Amino acid sequence: MDVLRCRDATTLAYPSNNRAQPAASSTASRGNLGEPVGTPNPWRIATAPMATIRQNALHPKSKGMATAKNPPNTIATFIVAGEPDAIRGVTEAVYRDLKDGNKDASIEFRDMTVPNIRVEAPTEEDAMALIRTAQRIAATHLSGAPTETKILFVEPPPNCTNDFQIAINVIDETKCARPKLESLPSTPNLAPGLSPETYKQEFSKSLCEAFENASSLHSSLILKIHLGYYILQTYKPGKFTFENFESMVKSPRATGQLETSLGQALTEGLSVEAAIRLIQADNSPCVPIDNQTPTSAQVIPTYAFESWHDDDRYETELEIIERQGPVNWPLKFNLVRTKMIPQSAQTPRFEATSISVGRSLDWNMVAMPGDEKIRASSAVTQYLGLGQAELKDSCDDFHSYPAVRLPGQYPMAKKLKSVTIKSIYRYNWKRTGYVVQFTINRRWESIHKMNRKAPTDTDFDVTIYADNWDLDSRVQAGETVGKIWGDDLRGLLRDETGDATGSALSRVQGLIETILDIRDFFESASRA
């Protein structure tokens, strides 16, 4: 596709009282392929460069045509100006990105003489937001920049008074690697520009833009933050200055991912026992949610069963079987409410990763589809419903977990792999509204092995989210199309300064401070 012939993007929009109103003609004159003909002049919008399109894309609604019971929908048409053969691929790409997740609006690609996108939204404001999003997406495709949103930053080492270098430390027999800080005591102090504050400011700006872009593109996103350690998979070996290391890991040739399963490698210095001891300490910032128990040491977990089949993940809740009278041990559970997360829903809409040089823990933030959990097939649901779980010891003891038993003679027993029993603890972080989820994972390769043996592996993971992040509707009805987190991200983030009119950037800065605070807390477990 010759994108050089795609000059810019323009919009044509007009109001409609009902869905039956005919759309504007998409027939293009030979003299100006960027503007459709046959549309009333007052509703036309002149072609303008992408960077200068700022005007209102919609004509005001006609008065007297709407009723309270039947408010009018608003229709807008989006066109990429240029030769039809050249713009068709770009327009289709914009359509796919725009339609993904936007279920509150009708979005249609029309492959006509001049390819265009027809948007029908509940309100003018919604339609305008979608048109602005389409403009941004089109500009990205025309520029040739990658449309996948991934942010990678490198955090400077803490309390470093001398210069240093970063060595690539290869992990035994894996060919993967971790960065290792090496101090150079005979060299002068660090340059003033290399500071944690600079890192926080630059990361906050990039993250704020990613939030706003994702908010305008999807109708439902669930945000999660994970602690872990970043593993370099493809990299340039050697020793680097901070700037050169940052350039190396951000290069398209370098690849890596955050390993979130903690407590396995001895080199981490982390363990389930050390982390639990830290969480349950008298002065712990991890406090019970809603005063459910007097102390964090008395918080009891919920339990879940996870399994995989053909790259689809299944989540099943463990529900205590109700008893008459006092509760006696052992506790018994049913396996209920199985949901499937298909492979297509396991790819983040955007991902931001921070490599923390000189520290044990890195972290990342992912925005996952919020409406992609679907009911599992009847075959899976019925099979898992045959299982039962039994907890023989006290649930106050983190070493104990419910033993799940599933019949092995069914075909489904061989299909479900990588099974895990999860003990999930949730705490409020300093009563701020942020939740720290600490999960102990006991893993087996198959159901057959789970029925007969102790866990093959035991690890833990730490997830951070806010107590309102699991809600699909972030802002009031009528504001969900094109900006799910509201103006200034107010539907997603609190303003840590206490100012109700705080900007999106200040909210993101407050979030990063909280993440670093939690990261430092768990990292102290490796020194305990």
Residue ranges per domain, the chain? 3-143, 152-527
Supply the pLDDT for residue 323: 66
Supply the pLDDT for residue 502: 75
Residue 79 pairs with which residues in a beta bridge?
Answer: 10, 116
Supply the pLDDT for residue 321: 86
pTM of the model: 0.78
How many helices (H) and strands (E) the chain has is answered by: 9, 22
Supply the pLDDT for residue 265: 64
Supply the pLDDT for residue 53: 28
Q: Which residues of the chain have pLDDT under 50?
A: 1-69, 472-482
95 membership: H or E segment, kind and range: helix 84-99
The whole-angstrom separation of Cα 420 and Cα 49 is 54
Supply the pLDDT for residue 328: 63
Q: Cα–chain-centroid distance for residue 427? A: 21
Over the stretch 400-447, which tens digit does the pLDDT of each residue have? 999 999 999 999 999 999 999 999 999 999 988 899 999 999 999 999
The radius of gyration computed from the CA coordinates of the chain, to the nearest angstrom, equals 27
- Please say whether the beta carbons of 4 and 51 come within 8 A: no
Interacting residues of 25 by C-beta distance below 8 A, sequence separation 6+: 36, 37, 38, 39
74 membership: H or E segment, kind and range: strand 74-82
The whole-angstrom separation of Cα 484 and Cα 490 is 10
Number of Cβ atoms within 10 Å of the Cβ of 147: 11
Over the stretch 174-199, which tens digit does the pLDDT of each residue have? 789 999 998 887 766 555 556 788 88
